[in-house]
Chains A and B, each alone.
Chain A
Amino acid sequence: MLPAELLVAKTFRGQIRPVYVRPAPELLELAESLIEIYRRGTGKKRHQIYSELKDLEYGPFNFRLIRGLAALLDRRSTFAVDSPIDPYQLRRAAFSRSQGFVLSEGEKGRIIGEISEELKICPEEVEKYLWSDLEDEQVMSGFEPIAAEELLAAYNLSLTQTLLFRSTVLEFRVRENWKRIFRRIKRLGLMYSINRDQGGYTVSVEGPISIIKLTERYGTNVAKLLPEIVAGGEWSVRAQIVSRWRDDRRLLNFELGSSEGVLLPMRAMDPEALYDSSLEEDFARRFASLSTRWSLLREPELLPVGATIMIPDFAFVLGGKRIYMEIVGFWTPDYLAKKINKLQMVRGVEMIIAVDESLGITKKIPGDVIPFEKEVPLKPILERLEAAEKAHLKFEMEQAAKLQIKVEGECAELEELAASSGISKEALRRTLLERPVAGFVLIGDCLIKKEKLGALEKLIAGERFLSALTSKLEAEGIKDPYPLLNYFGYQVKWRGLNYESAEIVKQADSK
């Protein structure tokens, strides 16, 4: 973000738009020369660098563009006091002797002589370093370089943020990256409403008093959302900007979308934005290494909670079953109060809540709480998932028992049957083992008509190689050859690791 006076924008018929820079040769050259001033600035005083920048202002470019670019470069530089002696100490020595004012040059010379003797510096250095700790007198000690095009992109982003400073309402549409955006909205204490459509979200954000009063109060917070929004693929934003022209306060519209191709940073630059808790990162990694039939979803859908929504951290998914998990790590008391309030309103979904014990709020949280220290434990979660799996299986088997399973054709994969009946494959398999479908045998995950078995056995007996058999079985609608081979007493014999040369062999001890 830039100081307000460096905003360059044009208004036209109720619209406002920053004057964006394009990566045109002359602008890249300008950026390059500014970067060069900073790159060569090491060892120079701040006011010297500023006066070099000032010279560029007499060129053909808007001085505010130059100052804006310079402001961004300033943030990448560090300055330090350059003095052989602590200037504060020097001032003390000088003022205590002058008692506040020297009347003559002679007296001043005498005092300076005394100081230079006492502090072991040359007399000229007394005046030279007396105020060397002032900002303007400080010397550049480091600069983190940036490419010219990157600088222009950062400038365009900053311009837009500076404009959004003065916004009352922001509406944006995104297709990707939305979870981070929503978290940021929540963290910034903004109010929002959301519409989901065609795989994307249209969100409008405002401050709590925006509807009562035309206020720029939340503009800074709204502006902080921008880097996240523009970092993700397809997006568009619309905002209302309060403009102060003379004594009038007017609302102007601002619109921008990814399709316009304005040069902007492709990833969020604000390090504060990359706060996706490492707790979650860590949990996802450890969970992935487990063997469980549940899969972990990191960006599950939004859950409606009262008048608002909640985004759980995770969802565990198995078949049609979902269990959500929220990790409550370190947060501010205010945020926690809101979170508890929200969790109390969650209805009709199963949710595991992992709470950091050091927060001391474990008891206040409603629902299924797993306390943790440092990292979220896997064991209690797995126990819950297994229990849930069993319970769910039982429930599904009850459902499956009520179903009339009809198989068309001679073979049917359980997977397809499961998909069409809305019951998990596992539940269906168990049900079929207990209550077989008349005229069919369940082999592996495939239901096969009894009359078909003879033909299949013949087919297997006539093949030597696994690869050829696999494709023939696939043509019959059987995806996995192993259960069938097993059923008829065959084995696969590998010669090396080559799939093409794997053979089928009749087991000696079979019938």
Chain B
Amino acid sequence: MLTLRYHRGTVLSGDVHLPHSVWDRSLGSYKTLGLYYLEALDYLKVSAIQFKDEVMDPPPCTFLRANIIPRGYQIEALDAWEQAGRRGIVVMPTGSGKTHVGMLAIEEVNQPALIVVPTIDLMDQWRRRLASSFSIDVGEYGGGENRIAPLTVATYDSAYLRAEELGNLFPLLIFDEVHHLPSPGYSQIAELFASPHRLGLTATYEREDGLHRELPRLVGGKVYERRVGEMAGDHLAPFSIEKVYVDLTPEEEEEYRRNTSTFREYLARRGITLRSPEDFQRLIMRSGRDPEAREALLARNRAMGIALNSSSKIDALREVVSDTLGERTLIFTQHNQLVYRLSKEFLIPAITHKTPKEERAEILNAFREGRYKVLVTSKVLDEGIDVPDASLGIILSGTGSKREFVQRLGRLLRKVEGKEARLIEIISRSTAETRVSYRRRGAL
């Protein structure tokens, strides 16, 4: 009789040809990716082929009971996922308790689960919350320690590296911040794991590069969605967005014009038009071979740098903070360089991706307790890290990414009685930055 077996990210089916399977000569068997395990089971049942199933080999697991009180919409989200055959993605804004939805799913499936997260911080966070909600020891993969337990948290990197050996241990696979998954590398986690049940969690389903169209195949489609707008006031704090325009200084202005025209002239000379992020990507690739393209790109980056880091913004920042002093404020920039400059200028505590864990924890703690009123950060707080509640956000510079914008906004929206969140964008007038700001606000 046919026995289905797991072998390093693949399901072996002997001489039975399954959907998506290919013949492996050296193994003497058909094999297919772990991703298609569930499909293989269906196929064999429908075709009335007798078989033994030895694919999954989960570690022994106690009964899992989560000690949490879910909100109504979290239960709705779980129901939708159940309905979809325990596959699919739940989209909810930051601060609305995605972790709870994950824990409800674990309780529902009641079998070993692997939670895949993008950062070490998120890993620590999930591990702590799982340990306290389920009162069990939680395993981890990545960040130095590799230990398997019925509930294990892994980073995308280590899940990718260890997919072949971990792929048949966890019947439930949860991807936190699932928009990371569809990159060419990480998507192999979903392909090599045989886990039949899959849940994706994110605040921002869409990717700029369009790769989110891969998600239904890898995890399942979008089964539940709540947008920031829908939830503001109800479950999230109400908010407003303001814009403050500043003028470049005359020197910056001149520098800006010179660099933009270098870039534009190059495009005109080569007859290139840029309509999409892909067009731009192509230009970057071209710059590898074409020194002129490279020079043009460098000029464009310099121009953007001038707009993003204008010293007028620093004056504007001083004014905004003077007006609102006492409010818990997060300042966002695009580049680390500006973070350190502001930190020196105003003695603001700063966090970047280079900040050691211990120092970061201390700063966040002081911010939580109100000893620090203001914090400046580059992209690092965009997702994942449990940032204490803030009511004012100032975007000094950023990209046009909708995800980045939603995540920055999400930092301010945790609901506290009587709170009204404000997000202030400081933008250089008459520069390309106005378009950047317009693009990201499309998220709302």
A residues engaging B (CB < 8 A)? 5, 63-64, 88, 91-92, 94-103, 108, 111, 127, 130-131, 134-135, 189, 191, 193, 208-209, 211-213, 215-217, 246, 307-308, 334
Contacts and interface: CB of A to CB of B under 8 A. Distances in A.
Given A88-B359, A208-B10, A209-B10, A131 B340 contact: yes
B191 A95 contact: no
B8 to A, nearest CB: 4
B288 interface: yes
B41 to A, nearest CB: 18
A307 B363 CA distance: 58
Interface string B254-291: 00000000000000000000000000001000001000
Given A101-B348, A193-B26, A209-B192, A134 B354 contact: yes
A212 B185 CA distance: 15
B154 to A, nearest CB: 17
Interface in B1-39: 7-10, 20, 22, 24, 26-28, 31-33
A212 B165 contact: no
Contact of B373 (A5, A99, A246): A99
B349 A95 contact: yes
Contact of A209 (B9, B26, B363): B9
Interface in B236-258: none
Contacts of A94: 347
B102 to A, nearest CB: 27
B347 A208 contact: no
Contacts of A215: 188
Interface of B: 7-10, 20, 22, 24, 26-28, 31-33, 164-165, 184-185, 188, 191-192, 282, 288, 294, 318, 321-322, 325, 329, 340, 343-344, 346-349, 354, 359, 362-363, 366-367, 371-375
B324 to A, nearest CB: 10
A127 B329 CA distance: 23
Nearest to A103: B322
B9 A208 contact: yes
A209 B325 CA distance: 58
A100 B375 contact: yes
A334 B320 CA distance: 59
4 cross-chain pairs, A with B, having the tightest CB-CB distances, nearest first = A100-B374, A98-B347, A100-B373, A100-B372
A209 B33 contact: yes
Given A64-B288, A100-B374, A101-B321, A211 B344 contact: no
A323 B347 CA distance: 74
Residue picked from A96, A100, A103, A135, most chain B C-beta under 10 Å:
A100
A208 B8 contact: yes
Contact of A101 (B10, B24, B374): B374
A346 to B, nearest CB: 18
Contacts of A96: 366, 371
Contacts of A191: 26
Contacts, number: 93
Contacts of B367: 100
A251 to B, nearest CB: 15
A453 B192 CA distance: 80
B interface SS class: mixed
A160 to B, nearest CB: 18
14 contacts: A5-B288, A94-B347, A95-B347, A100-B348, A101-B321, A101-B347, A101-B373, A102-B347, A131-B340, A189-B164, A193-B26, A208-B8, A212-B33, A307-B27
A422 B33 CA distance: 52
Given A130-B343, A130-B344, 12 more contacts: A100-B348, A100-B373, A101-B347, A101-B373, A102-B347, A108-B346, A131-B344, A208-B7, A212-B31, A212-B33, A213-B33, A308-B26
Contacts of B343: 130-131
Nearest to A9: B288
B13 to A, nearest CB: 13
Nearest to A217: B188
B164 A208 contact: yes
Given A98-B347, A101-B325, A134 B26 contact: no
B22 A102 contact: no
B59 to A, nearest CB: 15
Residue picked from A99, A111, A127, A189, most chain B C-beta under 10 Å:
A99
A127 B139 CA distance: 43
B354 A91 contact: no
A212 B372 contact: no
Given A131-B340, A212-B32, A102 B346 contact: yes
Contacts of A92: 362
A500 B359 CA distance: 85
A302 to B, nearest CB: 15
A212 to B, nearest CB: 5
Contacts of B28: 307
Contacts of A103: 318, 321-322, 325
Contacts of A211: 22, 24
A433 B192 CA distance: 68
Nearest to B284: A5
Contacts of A5: 288
Contacts of B294: 63
Nearest to B328: A100
A94 B349 CA distance: 9
A202 B415 CA distance: 65
B188 A101 contact: no
B298 to A, nearest CB: 10
Residue picked from A88, A92, A127, A211, most chain B C-beta under 10 Å:
A211
Contacts of B192: 209
A95 B282 contact: no
A441 to B, nearest CB: 59
Nearest to A88: B359
Given A103-B322, A135-B354, A91 B188 contact: no
B10 A212 contact: yes
Contacts of B32: 212
A99 B7 CA distance: 57
Nearest to B21: A212
A130 B31 CA distance: 58
A288 B347 CA distance: 70
A108 B318 CA distance: 13
A212 B27 contact: no
A97 B10 contact: no
A59 to B, nearest CB: 12
A165 B208 CA distance: 26
Contact of A98 (B185, B191, B348): B348
A88 B349 CA distance: 11
A444 B143 CA distance: 71
A100 B370 CA distance: 10
Residue picked from B192, B340, B347, B359, most chain A C-beta under 10 Å:
B347
Residue picked from A63, A209, A308, most chain B C-beta under 10 Å:
A209
B344 A97 contact: no
Residue picked from A63, A95, A127, A191, most chain B C-beta under 10 Å:
A95
B312 to A, nearest CB: 18
Nearest to B341: A131
Contacts of B374: 100-101
A5 B297 CA distance: 15
A201 to B, nearest CB: 17
A96 B327 CA distance: 17
A64 B289 CA distance: 10
A127 B340 CA distance: 11
Nearest to B192: A209
A95 B366 CA distance: 10
B79 to A, nearest CB: 34
B153 to A, nearest CB: 22
Contacts of B8: 208-209
